[in-house]
Structure formats: C-alpha cells, structure tokens
Structure 1
Amino acid sequence: MKIIDAHIHFCQELYFDQIAELAGHENTSAHLKEQYAAHNIVHGVVMGNRSLELSDHHYPDDLSYCIGLDSTCFKVEEAVRQADLVEKHLLRKNCVGIKLYPGYNHFYLYDPVVDPFYQLAMQYKKPVAVHTGLTATSNALLKYSHPLILDEVAVRYPQVQFVMCHIGNPWLVDAIAVIEKNENVAADLSGILEGRIDRMTDFFAEKHGYINFLKVWLEYLDKYDRLLYGTDWPLANISNYIEFVAHIIPEKHHDKVFFDNANRIYQLGL
C-alpha cells in the first residue's frame, strides 16, 4: 500500500530534534528518506512554519508544502507585501496550499484580515489547512483553535477546500459535526499520537475508551473520502502511526485514507 503523509514538519531546530528522538527517529532529511522508503511512504506534505521568504522553502522532491501564515501576515501595514509573497508561493508547483495557526497566533479564522488569503486560495484552487484542537505551547489560546470556528469560513468560502488538521482533537464530536455539515471540509488524522510506543497492543488496550470513541464518531461520519493520513512528523513514530490509523479506519477504506484523499485534495498528481 502506498502512503502519503499529509502533515509533517521539516525544520532543523532543537525542539524538533528533541521530539524526533523521543519518537525513536532522527530529525534529518536522510533519516526521513530512509523511513519513507521502509514504509512505502511516497510523498509528504510539509506544514510550513518558517518565514514567508521564498528562500526558506526548499524541500526534497518527495515533499510538497503548505505556506504557513503567522500573526505578522495580518498586520495592516504589511498586508499587501505579505499577500504578494503568499501568491508567489502559490505559483510554485510544490506549494500545494496555505496553513493557518489561529490558536498560536491569536486570531479568529473568520476575521476579515484573513480574507485576502482565502481569496488567493480560491484563485489558485489550493486548499487551506488549519491547526485545530490542542496546541503544543501554553501561551496559545484554545478559543481560536476550536474546530467549530472553521464552520463560518467554510460557509463563507464554499469554493475553498479546507483541511482540519488534527481533526480538532479532543473536540472530536464538534469536529465531526463541522465536517459532516460542510462538504468543503476534510480532516487529517495527525498529531493524535506522540513519542514512540513500544507495544501497540498494550496501547490499544489502555486507550480502549478513547479509541472506541474516535472509531464510533468516524463511523458515524462515514466520510472516509475526506480523511487524510498524517503523522505530524517528527512528533510520532512512523510505524506506530501507520498501525494506529490502520486500526481506527476500516480496511476497505485504507487506500482512500492513506493515499487517495491527500493525492486528490493537495493535487499531488501521484
């Protein structure tokens, strides 16, 4: 089975080095390539969290990226320049979308200052991925990353394909409601596990309640053509994550979730 990892980070920074080690990996391009080959992962989508400068976004051929926007993109005095830079990224073949971090940067998705970027996504027919759910830092604000916030922009921009990163975890029921209601909202399953798990059978037993809850609501949604495999590399162990997603997704839908949906939504042409 071919796999696309629809949510990774690709930064040579101490923080990412440390979490990679906890997951049993090395935060290097060579190690990632080795792991991809070992698990038949044919492509990855980087969620950009660097500057908007074009020079900061060069990736190996087996990686595409979403250009990440932080709070500096929404300053009135910088608006024209920032939108121009984002457009230059979207003109690149390997830039397959925009990534928003509302919880970390303290803005509501429906704030009018974000409208120029939705309009660019609509113009270039590229998706907008949004961090939803819990955050990795305590100075982030959860009121901005709640999955219900995505509902309003999904309605306002029906032509834009949105990807709800981390499926709003732990607000899973709210996330499922937003996906069910809005045909232009998909979700990736990244960021649910972290670190390395030595015995997945023990993990499934210990987390039985949570995993069953997740499976029940995914079955209720029954939209497996809008769920994407993703790991949030280097947060989690790749082998663990493949086993986890294979466990929560019915086998007849594995090709969709592990490969087809990301290939279609991010227009990878694989």
Structure 2
Amino acid sequence: MNVDDLVAIDVHTHAEVSKDGHGSLSPELFDASAKYFKAHPRPTIPEMAAYYRERRIAAVVFTVDAEHATGHPPIANEEVAESCAEHADVLIPFASIDPWRGRAGAREARRLVERYGVRGFKFHPSVQRFAPDDHMAYPLYEAIEELGVPALFHTGQTGIGAGVPGGGGIRLKYSNPMLLDDVAVDFPELRIVLAHPSFPWQDEALAVATHKPYVYIDLSGWSPKYFPPQLVRYANSLLKDKVLFGSDYPVITPDRWLADFDKLDIKPEVRPGILKDNAARLLGLRG
C-alpha cells in the first residue's frame, strides 16, 4: 500500500456479505437496519476494493462476531483477511472475535494476526451483549495489546435492532464509551478507537479520549453536518492527532461523508491528519 498516493484512509467499513451470500446479521436485524439506514447495496469485499481503489482511498474492513448473543454465525475472519490480502493496495483487514470465547478467543486473535495479517479488531458491545469492562473479555484484550494492534469499539446508539420489539435484544448501555475508561487503565498500551459520535455520550467519549493517550475517536456513522459542536471543537484542537475519518460504508458512502466534511469548520492544517495521517500512524502504515 502506497500511503502517499492515497487521498484518505477510511477506518470503518463493514463486510456485510460473504462469498457464498451469508449475511453478517440475521435477516430480522438486516431488515430493521435497512429501514433505519434506508436501503443500501451490500457489496462483496472485491466490490468494496474496486469502489475504494477508484477513489484512491484505503479502507479498514471488518465484520462482527456476535454468535453467542444472536445465534447467527459470523462471516469468517479468514475470508475477510484473505479477500483483503488480494486487494492489499486499498484494503486493511480487521477481525472480530466474540469476547464470550474467553481464552480461546485470545488464542484465535494471535493466530489471525500472525498467520493472516489482521491489523486490528472490531467490537460491538451492544450487539455482542457484553460490557467492555467485563473481565471476561480481558484475556482477549491482553492478547491484542501484546500483538500491538488497535481495538475498535462501537460506541453510542446503534441503528441495528431499531424498530424491532425490544430492540432485537440489543442493550444500548453496553456502548457507553465511559465503560472503556477501565479498559484503557488496565491495558495502558492498548490502542482503543471509540467508533462514531457517541450519542448520547459524546462528552464521555471526549473525556476518555483526552485523558487516556491511546484512545482515539473515529467519525463514522454520521454525516459531518450533524456532528455535535463539542466534537468539532475537540477535533480542531486537543484531539487533532487522535480523530480519524470513518464512513460506516456501505451504510454511509465516503463520497457523501467527504462532501459534507469539506463544508465543516475544520482548520486546513488539521484536515490531513483526520483524513489520513492519524490513521496511517495508528495502523503502522508508514515506516
């Protein structure tokens, strides 16, 4: 991957369908998500590569393993990693391991990084039905910290399960970013990314990210025109080196996100960091 030739690095995209057509979510949750986010294409990973290559943008790709909570088998991490390796000029593989797997999950994390070149891990506490500060997940965090790759956590409200009775069993409380403060204390070298503007806990996310040196924020899932003013203020100042471009593709396209970001009141000297340089540093893409 030639980072200098890239326009941006999108740290938050979803592999929603496998090669054989298996979806990352159950049909019930997919249907609800489509109503909440509006209907959108579900590209394969090779199709994602072509889309991002055309735009000279690199993309972090992941799925979510929430089989313990949902009963729905995930898209295999190996498939995501191997497909990204075929398009390594633009795609960066992350894996997802259900934290309920305990020490077996920690062994799996090591295998995926060492044998498949995985560059980070994705967690969705609400969908996976766990509190991030639950010590059940600590063996997995320990492995990720030792491997030196980042852990990206969904924070804030989620559209997944919206409109389904009982929210499809998804509890929003697990995605309060303050639950990651203990994780940042107990694993001080672990790079943590708080995904999304963390509605309704934006101030909590900003507090953790400013207090803990290895906690970052990605800006995915929202059009920049809807960003809370305090998020924009911190991105322009105290967190300018720790805020990352993310789209949430295919739910939100980078085309729309970048067009709206162009209109946002971000200092010219801060923009390159948010769009590419901060992510390149975090992901170890520069020598």
TM range (shorter): 0.7 to 0.9
Equivalent residue letter for 2:94? C
Note the residue ranges of structure 2 that are not aligned, 5 or more in a row: 1-5, 18-22, 66-73, 162-166
Instruction: Give 1:170 shift.
Output: 3.6
**Are the equivalent residues in 1 in contact too, given 2:9–2:276 (CA < 8 A)?**
yes
Which region of structure 1 is more displaced relative to structure 2, 167-176 or 155-164? 167-176
Q: CA deviation at 1:116?
A: 0.8
Q: SS of 1:180's equivalent?
A: helix
Distance in 2 separating the partners of 1:40 and 1:134: 31
Corresponding position of 1:85: 108
Q: Which residue of 2 aligns with 1:251?
A: 268
Shift of residue 222, structure 1, vs aligned partner: 2.4
Partner SS state of residue 110, structure 1: coil
Deviation digits for residues 159-202 of structure 1 (CA, Å, limit 9, x no counterpart): 11111111423421111111111111001101113xxxxxxxxx
Cα pair distance change 1:149/1:54, threshold 3 Å: closer
Consecutive unaligned residues in structure 1, runs of 5 or more: 194-202
1:45 aligns with 2:68: no
- Tell whether the 8 Å contact from 1:87 to 1:120 is kept in structure 2 after alignment: yes
Would you say the 8 A contact 1:148–1:178 is kept in 2? yes
- Following TM superposition, by how much is the alpha carbon of 1:143 offset from its aligned partner in structure 2, in angstroms? 1.2
Corresponding residue of 2:16: 11
**Quick one: which amino acid aligns to residue 224 of structure 1?**
K
Is residue 132–residue 165 contact of structure 1 (8 Å, CA) maintained in 2? yes
Task: Check conservation: 2:120, 2:149, Cα contact below 8 A.
Answer: yes
For the pair 1:117 / 2:140, whether they are aligned, the reply is yes
Distance in 1, Cα, partners of 2:79 & 2:63: 9
2:285 matched to 1:268? yes
TM-score, scaled to structure 2: 0.76
* Matches of 1:10 and 1:235, distance apart in 2: 11
C-alpha contact 1:25 1:237 (8 A) present in aligned 2: no
Q: 1:51-97 CA distances to partner (integer Å, 9 max, x unpaired)?
A: 48554332232212221123xx425xxx3433222210121463111
Q: Which residue of 2 aligns with 1:242?
A: 258
RMSD: 2.8
Does the 8 Å contact 2:77/2:95 carry over to 1? no
Residue 157 (structure 1) aligns with: 187
Corresponding residue to 1:134 among 143, 157, 170: 157
Question: SS where residue 247 of structure 2 aligns?
Answer: coil
The CA distance in 2 between the partners of 1:223 and 1:127, in whole Å, is 17
Tell whether the 8 Å contact from 1:169 to 1:192 is kept in structure 2 after alignment: no
**Count of aligned pairs between the two proteins:** 249
1:264 CA drift (Å): 1.1
Query: Is residue 2:90 matched to residue 1:74?
Result: no
Q: 2:100 corresponds to which letter in structure 1?
A: F
Question: What percent identity do the matched residue pairs reach?
Answer: 24
State the shift of 1:29 in Å: 4.1
Report SS of the residue matched to 2:270: helix
Aligned to 1:199: none
Say if 2:103 and 2:139, in contact at 8 Å, map to a contact too. no
Cα distance in structure 1, aligned partners of 2:283 and 2:93: 10
Q: For residue 145 of structure 1, what is the aligned residue in structure 2?
A: 175
With a CA cutoff of 8 Å and minimum separation of 6, indicate the structure with the bigger relative contact order.
1
Instruction: Please state whether the residue corresponding to 1:67 is helix, strand or coil.
Output: coil
Indicate conservation of the 8 Å contact 2:234/2:240, yes or no: no
Three-state SS of the structure 1 residue aligned to 2:119 is strand
